[in-house]
Chain A
């Protein structure tokens, strides 16, 4: 059976922790390993942070949406903003690339997301916003011990 959730919150940096805890608690129903839970929290944190600082350029009066669905042992996660958009998605996804070095960005966000998820799709339109769609299949080896 498919189970879905949707949250929408202000583009404030204090919501980064809220977002990753909310998603982690939803996917906990699938009984993920500690490593898998850390990976899910990390990618949520990366995508939400990107919407706040890049998409909305730190303006507080916008919204970020997250939808998450779980089915069998697969997690589908979408993080969406209506911010400035990404001009060159291929360049943005390169390791160490950042458009904001003055903010002490490491340029590793997308690289970490790609490493931690099975598939990552980025859709973006300049002036309209960005949607990051991710999928991850949980390992089910642990069910053996149930």
Chain B
């Protein structure tokens, strides 16, 4: 199964909803569309919803870290939500939670950023 990415903007937040498999092949394509969305919209923060991700490896971590750096440039925050136990393990291994906030779901993530869902 390939990757699908759906983008949504709420106030100054870009919501990225991913579904399918996030590996190196998909990460390189995702980087381009994700970066475009970040610069085409007047946003500051990013919420990454991983609820429908069925597979992820270290290339996924790479693309998330890359966008985290972009969000820092915008002076915003990155929140990851709806993370499965196996993806959580990868994040813990790579120390990602030291820099990226984790929330249970999109609604919690939005309220953390002060946006009504």
Give the interface of A toward B (CB within 8 A): 13-14, 16-17, 20, 35, 38, 41-42, 45-46, 49, 52-53, 95-96, 103-109, 111-112, 115
Contacts and interface: CB of A to CB of B under 8 A. Distances in A.
A106 B61 contact: yes
A17 B93 contact: no
A136 B66 CA distance: 32
Which of B1, B55, B57, B61 is packed against the most chain A CB atoms within 10 Å?
Answer: B57
20 contacts: A13-B28, A17-B2, A17-B23, A17-B25, A38-B86, A42-B90, A45-B55, A45-B59, A46-B57, A46-B58, A53-B24, A95-B94, A104-B27, A104-B63, A105-B58, A105-B62, A106-B61, A107-B58, A108-B61, A112-B57
B70 to A, nearest CB: 11
Nearest to A49: B24
Interface residues of B, number: 22
A106 B86 contact: no
Highest count of chain A CB atoms <10 Å: which of B23, B65, B86: B23
Query: What does DSSP make chain A's interface, helix, strand, loop or mixed?
Result: helix
B57 A49 contact: yes
Contacts of A20: 55
B24 A16 contact: yes
Interface in B1-57: 1-2, 21, 23-25, 27-28, 31, 55, 57
Contact of A49 (B1, B23, B90): B23
Contacts of B55: 20, 38, 41-42, 45
